[in-house]
Amino acid sequence: MNTKYKHLSSPITIGSVTVKNRMFMAPMDTGFGNTAYGGFTQAGIDYFVRRAEGGFGLLFSGGTNGDCVVDGCDGILNHPEEFIRQGRELNGRIAEYGAKMFIQLSMNVGRNGGLKTPSPLPTLANPAVTTEALTIEEIHTKIAEMGKAARLVKDAGFAGVDIHAMHWGHLLDSFALSVMNHRDDEYGGSLENRVRVAKEIIEAIRRECGSDFPVTMRLALKSYMKGFNKASFDGSEEVGRTLEEAVEIAKLLESYGYDALSVDAGTLDAFYYAMPPSYVPAGFMLDMTKQVREAVSIPVLCGGRMADPDISEQAIVEGIIDAAVIGRQAIADPDYARLVTEGRTDEIRTCIGCNQGCIWGFFCNGRVSCAVNPEVGHEGEPKLVKAEKSKKVAIVGGGIAGMEAARVATLRGHDVTLYEKSGVLGGNLIPAGAHDFKTEIHQLNDYYKRQMQLLHIDVRMNAEVTPDMFRQSAADTILLATGSVPVMPRSIEGIDKAVSGVDALLGRKPVGQRVIIVGGGLVGCEIAYGYAKEGRDVTIVEALDQILNLGSVPIMNKAMLLDGFEHYGTRILTSTKLKTVLDDGAVVVLPDGTEQMLAADTVIVSIGYRPVPSLREALADSGAEIIEIGDGRQVGNVLTSVKDAYEAACNI
């Protein structure tokens, strides 16, 4: 063990169970990993085993229905033998790596899924539709079923249960939140009444499983809710849970016998605090967690942007947390915990906090993927296997697609040479990581650069390629990963006075106090957000009728940017077109056709990227097979570039 992260790598006891380290994999549904009733598919078992192999001490499953009577859904209690068989296989295999697993038992998602709630509530999807209230008998049934489900979990060999959850506005959360619970019986009113369900759940579990079966609770320390379907950007307008109330709840949960608290934040109304994009600072939970940890003596496990091992190690040293609960980073790199323990943090493939593949993939496609890890969901059937024949592979372009292809092709046994025209590796990752809220992009670039070194890949910098070069080296395959460049609309009068988004991000051109950003896509909005945060006077000009119009932008990222613009007073002009760029601003055409002069020190144009002209024809007589990948083939993002490069390199 490397001593730098010795606290993170040291054992911890939760109830009767000792876990080998303090890096826990957060509960996360995968879509592909579960059967319809909440058992495990083979792909799900392989996915968890891979994370155990990668060093995580404790794995939490995603939310699993405890009750299937009141909700009338299928659940593990309907398939006990199958669940026990799957559980025993899973637990047997993770035990080989010294890992343990808790099942996250869910009361269900309440109003977030249009299911019954403590009181009638506006549903998340359509606030005009309200939920039905649970009867006392239904509440009792649900509690009893949670106890029986815990018993089944124990019989299947799992080490404990995590109760899902006083967070995200799910059912148990809506009991506890006064804004969602208007009952006047023993389950409503005082705080003790609102958390009574949590008390009765652990009593039911203790009756079924005995006192030595660990039970933890997932608890949001703050809701960040301004109202239903509306987040409080800075948390100052709170109608949900305040930290003060969370501290009181934590004390009650400890008194009921919970063995640990797994803390996070947010509700689906304030989804960007529950699923924080990179705009939310790493370690944002720590100040709140400190107050809870001072109030209780059971372990406090802290989740939400806790993947920086320096932050979590220090937080353990300072007594702020007992363990880090790592979500998306565990998807991005299953070996995270092992690499931390071995002090090899420069080999961690960094999660960039984009939400693109994981939660947005789950919402849009019903299954989790990952922008930086194309192997998610395929752990048991890896495509990255040794090639039958080692080939000479030339890769043109040292951006993310080129480096991913070089990594994968080398691991498959090919002889790879990477040619990069400029003097630096990273391509568009470099401007993309320029903001302080995108530093993970630079870490990802550093990961790739390190991989090039560790795999001894022949990287040629400042290298313009010619067909002759490839004829001489007798390349079998050329992968063109030449990337994309910003679009500058040359037809616009005065366009030379404007600055491209890339030049602004790279600091190649000065940017003044009053800024116009032309283009309200994700890149333009992130540039605008960065300047707005710095206190500059920002106007976004977008030709379409709304900004962040693309379905590929995850809703939580979009909501945070929009709320941020409102908070910082950013002006947004939609259905507005740029006409002329001037020395002191720009002339735009408003939706009604009138022209308006907007004063500004700098006009930044960020209206998208276009592929660099293809080298396919120029290299046609090189004698090699030519494959185009990444932005050079079709402009996309990190997810599409990595996937494209991975697939291509797996097929050489």
Ligand X SMILES: Cc1cc2nc3c(=O)[nH]c(=O)nc-3n(C[C@H](O)[C@H](O)[C@H](O)COP(=O)(O)O)c2cc1C
Contacts within 8 Å (CB) and 24+ apart, 200-206: 200/143, 201/107, 201/143, 201/146, 201/147, 201/163, 202/163, 202/256, 202/257, 202/258, 203/256, 204/143, 204/144, 204/146, 204/147, 204/150, 205/146, 205/147, 205/150, 205/161, 206/257
Measuring CA to CA, how many Å separate 365 from each of 170, 360, 378, 543, 584?
22, 8, 16, 29, 46
Residue 304 interacting entry, from ligand X, ligand SF4, none, C-beta within 5 to 8 Å by type: ligand X
Q: How far apart are CA 448 and CA 450, in angstroms?
A: 5
CB atoms within 10 A of CB 255: 10
* Nearest residue to ligand X, scored by beta-carbon proximity: 327
Using the minimum distance from each CB to ligand X, give the nearer residue, 358 or 619.
Answer: 358
Does 28 engage in binding with ligand SF4 (CB under 6 A)? no
CB atoms within 10 A of CB 646: 21
Q: Which of 214, 304, 397, 483 binds ligand X (CB under 6 A)?
A: 304
Residue with tokens 């933890």: 216
Q: Which of 372, 432, 452, 612 binds ligand SF4 (CB under 6 A)?
A: 372
Residue 261 interacting entry, from ligand X, ligand SF4, none, C-beta within 5 to 8 Å by type: none
Token duo for residue 434? 């320029």
Q: Which of 8, 15, 27, 492 binds ligand X (CB under 6 A)?
A: 27
Q: Is the alpha carbon torsion for 437, 438, 439, 440 positive or negative? A: positive
Does 354 engage in binding with ligand SF4 (CB under 6 A)? yes
Using the minimum distance from each CB to ligand SF4, give the nearer residue, 175 or 646.
Answer: 646
Token duo for residue 86? 């799957």
CA atoms within 13 A of residue 125's CA, in its CB half-sphere = 9
Does 217 engage in binding with ligand X (CB under 6 A)? no
Token duo for residue 594? 């009138």
Does 30 engage in binding with ligand SF4 (CB under 6 A)? no
Does 105 engage in binding with ligand X (CB under 6 A)? no
Q: How far apart are CA 279 and CA 492, in angstroms?
A: 33
Shortest distance in whole angstroms from residue 258 CB to ligand X: 15
Does 352 engage in binding with ligand SF4 (CB under 6 A)? yes
Q: Which stretch, 305-313, 352-360, 407-415, 525-533, contacts ligand SF4 (CB under 6 A)? A: 352-360
Does 164 engage in binding with ligand X (CB under 6 A)? yes
CB atoms within 10 A of CB 535: 9
Does 49 engage in binding with ligand SF4 (CB under 6 A)? no
Residue 26 interacting entry, from ligand X, ligand SF4, none, C-beta within 5 to 8 Å by type: ligand X
Q: Which of 38, 39, 44, 62 binds ligand X (CB under 6 A)?
A: 62
Does 356 engage in binding with ligand SF4 (CB under 6 A)? yes
Using the minimum distance from each CB to ligand SF4, give the nearer residue, 379 or 420.
Answer: 379
Does 303 engage in binding with ligand X (CB under 6 A)? yes
Q: How far apart are CA 569 and CA 582, in angstroms?
A: 24
Q: How far apart are CA 440 and CA 277, in angstroms?
A: 11
x/- binding map, residues 333-372, to ligand X, per CB under 6 A? -------------------------xx--x-----x----
Q: Which stretch, 143-151, 305-313, 350-358, 396-404, contacts ligand SF4 (CB under 6 A)? A: 350-358
Q: Which stretch, 133-141, 231-239, 326-334, 371-379, contacts ligand X (CB under 6 A)? A: 326-334
Shortest distance in whole angstroms from residue 295 CB to ligand X: 21
Query: Apex CA 201: angle with CA 197 and CA 204, to 5°?
Result: 135
Does 328 engage in binding with ligand SF4 (CB under 6 A)? yes
Does 371 engage in binding with ligand SF4 (CB under 6 A)? yes
* Phi and psi based region of residue 575 (left: phi greater than 0; alpha: psi -120 to 50; beta: remaining): left
Q: Which of 104, 117, 369, 482 binds ligand X (CB under 6 A)?
A: 104
Shortest distance in whole angstroms from residue 203 CB to ligand SF4: 37
Q: How far apart are CA 574 and CA 590, in angstroms?
A: 8
Does 26 engage in binding with ligand SF4 (CB under 6 A)? no
Amino acid at 198: A
Q: Which of 365, 388, 385 is nearest to 377 (CA)?
A: 365
Residue 219 interacting entry, from ligand SF4, ligand X, none, C-beta within 5 to 8 Å by type: none
Q: Which of 143, 268, 351, 532 binds ligand SF4 (CB under 6 A)?
A: 351
Find the binding residues for ligand X in span 63-102 (CB under 6 A).
Answer: 63
Does 355 engage in binding with ligand SF4 (CB under 6 A)? yes
Q: Which of 161, 171, 332, 337 binds ligand SF4 (CB under 6 A)?
A: 332
CB atoms within 10 A of CB 316: 21
Q: Which of 496, 477, 262 is nearest to 391 (CA)?
A: 477
Which helix (H) or strand (E) covers residue 587, if one does? strand 585-589
Does 305 engage in binding with ligand X (CB under 6 A)? yes
Q: Which of 264, 379, 542, 628 binds ligand X (CB under 6 A)?
A: 264
* Chain positions contacting ligand SF4, by CB under 6 A: 328, 331-332, 351-358, 370-372
* Chain positions contacting ligand X, by CB under 6 A: 26-29, 62-63, 104, 164-165, 218, 264, 275-276, 303-307, 326-329, 358-359, 362, 368
